[in-house]
Structure 1
């Protein structure tokens, strides 16, 4: 069948799926515990990315983060013992997207940790955002020691309750915060300075200590953007014939996507190595393969998709501005619509794309730009830089083949 005919067949389903995505109004609604919220039982941990096919596929960074979570939960006395429980299957691993949450980097979710409930004010649908801890040596980067444990406890016992108390009655809408963030030059993936300022302005009753901690850790707000993006994209799940991407994530071994018309089936290809700006003395040779659920923001139309509207993050990542502009504009062509609320000046009349189309990606043949944090592959050195990773075209091509078979 000619390419134009295929595009015409997809137009109706994609319009329906996009309408569902843009109709969502995510609102931060309150703090709950992950076990209760996600149905995460004792002896179960969530992780970023598609499911691992076997224990040997788990990168050291992710394995160490999982082991640290098990120790923190009291399921093992040492990291070595916890790694053994994970490898032999005594600790069950579950994919975050299947649980109803998203979390950056290793993405580990523990039953006892605090998460933010994100509701759809305009209809059905709930997701949950994890609360990011501070520092480069943190659990999401594979590090678990006394300082990391203290950081996890601080978030659960101090930051989470403070946020819960400060939320306005009826919840805090997320999309206006993202629009404000992008207008201030954020990509809403690796630069979140504007987003954090908007978030704190929206919480006038937040206590001073929590306010200071949040200002010092602007990446914390990324998690709310991720959950809001997932909530919106989940609305398109199951629209027959639609080629719009509903999930984009990495586990350090593979990158995977889902598309609306094939439901919860994963299409995967090997994860790429991020390139960018490294914190001295680290280099590209130290970089872990791309990982984390945070690429959901690119699926929504932000992050690398608005590289041409976020000059400061290009500088931080050590990427040429011409490259960022070229990549951002090329990615804009891969979305079937335009976001009605988020409109940075640098994007011009085309605005911010909405509805990432797997068919367009497969036809273009260019790997997607993802703005990402970079972890050390040794799993103990932590966060070592920020840069650009690529979502392989093979994921999108395989999804389109499966969608064609289902037609």
Structure 2
């Protein structure tokens, strides 16, 4: 006697599932895909590592236990020890000869800001010869920088601290959108704005933060995700909550009332201002997981406009790099794909921590900036759960029944599923001096995850 199944599970192509469903049989479709080519042996080796399960649990717990408090605002020369001629940048290490247009433009503008040259164009020779200048990644100095991420000694930095451990991270102040230094622009108005930020905005914020006391950045992140932000390309609610916390102390700071008014207008009119707090908050959390032997959790994703690099908890400070990709998205004015530089910036630290592109379901309006549709945003957040170790109970997604955001990117899960982390990002013009040309969606180069897996497998074998 034959019987008709009451339920069928189908993996792979939909042809079989469609045929069964047409016969009124319930079907569960499993989105199975083969592992990335050539990773089978390394996956088996790492899966057998007796340290892995506990190491990943400790890495995820360490990340989730961190609270980020804004405790100070001060020049990079003071809090990072930068000296004249020292420049930090976004992404993995790179030299001038391989630097992209927007990174070069930001370095040229930074050199003029520091008085190393009168005209930014004259800085090219400085960087070509290396005479009195040096480049180093922000990530190597407990810092992060959006887009080009250039930090110079006189720039003012947000200082975030985890009160339980005293560890600190840092990020520069946000300039706004369009023609700004972080997008590679260095025109006179860009430098004028940076000087005003150095002479007025930075000192005013320092007085406000010191006068108010620590600001709970992690708490603001928790609230803003409930209010339509995803904390990478949409920070409107976060910026306004920060302004709510600091405005009284800014007004009573004793500084010139016109300077205070201009500062309030600047922050209030810059929806991205809070991004430069979200980023170091995420780095502070992820740095807590660094150096955990056996862990396969990604602790940094960063781009310098030429290379895309990741770092993993169980492999120390080693970078695994591949070519940065050009984002797909929406362009400003007459700009198009030929005008865009490959992906750039440390801001993918937000996705590494589970927000930004991983939390697009919290901010469906983001699709109007980066492209796609509302269903795409929901599907992206669901898909990222397939490559992460767990969820963040503090950062939740209302439309998904308050499910925690996907947290803790796992190298083995990426290699096993072929699903790449989703990042939403701004796009810089490929030519130095142009500035922002659009915003869109991008993923890392696939090869960097098998490279990290191979190193993890090598370390596993060396312990056995």
Alignment length (residue pairs): 406
Whether 1:149 and 2:191 are equivalent positions in the alignment is: yes
Equivalent-residue separation in structure 2 for 1:360 and 1:155 (angstroms): 43
Whether 1:233 and 2:276 are equivalent positions in the alignment is: no
Task: Give the drift of 1:9.
Answer: 4.7
Equivalent-residue separation in structure 1 for 2:234 and 2:385 (angstroms): 19
Local SS of the residue matching 1:256 = strand
Equivalent-residue separation in structure 2 for 1:134 and 1:24 (angstroms): 28
Equivalent-residue separation in structure 2 for 1:373 and 1:135 (angstroms): 9
Residue-by-residue CA offset, 1:98-129 (whole Å, 9 max, x unaligned): 01110101100001111111111121311112
Task: Give the drift of 1:392.
Answer: 2.0
Residue-by-residue CA offset, 1:295-328 (whole Å, 9 max, x unaligned): 0000000011012221101122221223322222
Deviation larger for 4-13 or 65-74: 4-13
Alignment of 1:50-89 (within 5 A): 50-52=92-94, 54-89=95-130
- TM-score w.r.t. the length of structure 1 is 0.96
Equivalent-residue separation in structure 1 for 2:357 and 2:419 (angstroms): 13
Instruction: Report the counterpart of residue 329 of structure 1 in structure 2.
Output: 382
Whether 1:176 and 2:213 are equivalent positions in the alignment is: no
Equivalent-residue separation in structure 1 for 2:371 and 2:62 (angstroms): 37
Alignment of 1:128-207 (within 5 A): 128-167=170-209, 169-205=212-248, 206-207=250-251
Task: Give the drift of 1:67.
Answer: 1.0
Aligned residues of 1:39 and 1:99 also touching (Cα < 8 A): no
Residue-by-residue CA offset, 1:185-209 (whole Å, 9 max, x unaligned): 1111001111112211222413343
Alignment of 1:359-374 (within 5 A): 359-374=412-427
Instruction: Report the counterpart of residue 256 of structure 2 in structure 1.
Output: none
Deviation larger for 250-259 or 147-156: 147-156
Local SS of the residue matching 2:426 = strand
Local SS of the residue matching 1:198 = helix
Local SS of the residue matching 1:268 = strand
Equivalent-residue separation in structure 2 for 1:57 and 1:237 (angstroms): 28
Instruction: Report the counterpart of residue 46 of structure 1 in structure 2.
Output: 88
Equivalent-residue separation in structure 2 for 1:255 and 1:337 (angstroms): 24
* Unmatched segments (≥5 aa) in structure 2: 1-40, 252-260
Equivalent-residue separation in structure 2 for 1:71 and 1:317 (angstroms): 32
Equivalent-residue separation in structure 2 for 1:94 and 1:116 (angstroms): 19
When residues 135 and 306 of structure 1 are mapped into structure 2, their CA distance, relative to the original with a 3 A threshold, is: closer
Alignment of 1:3-402 (within 5 A): 3=44, 5-6=47-48, 9-52=51-94, 54-90=95-131, 91-167=133-209, 169-205=212-248, 206-207=250-251, 208-348=261-401, 350-402=403-455
- Structure 1 moving runs of 4+ over 6 Å: none
Aligned residues of 2:68 and 2:162 also touching (Cα < 8 A): yes
Residue-by-residue CA offset, 1:207-266 (whole Å, 9 max, x unaligned): 343222111111111010000110111111100010111111000111000001111000
When residues 185 and 6 of structure 1 are mapped into structure 2, their CA distance, relative to the original with a 3 A threshold, is: farther
Equivalent-residue separation in structure 1 for 2:207 and 2:118 (angstroms): 34
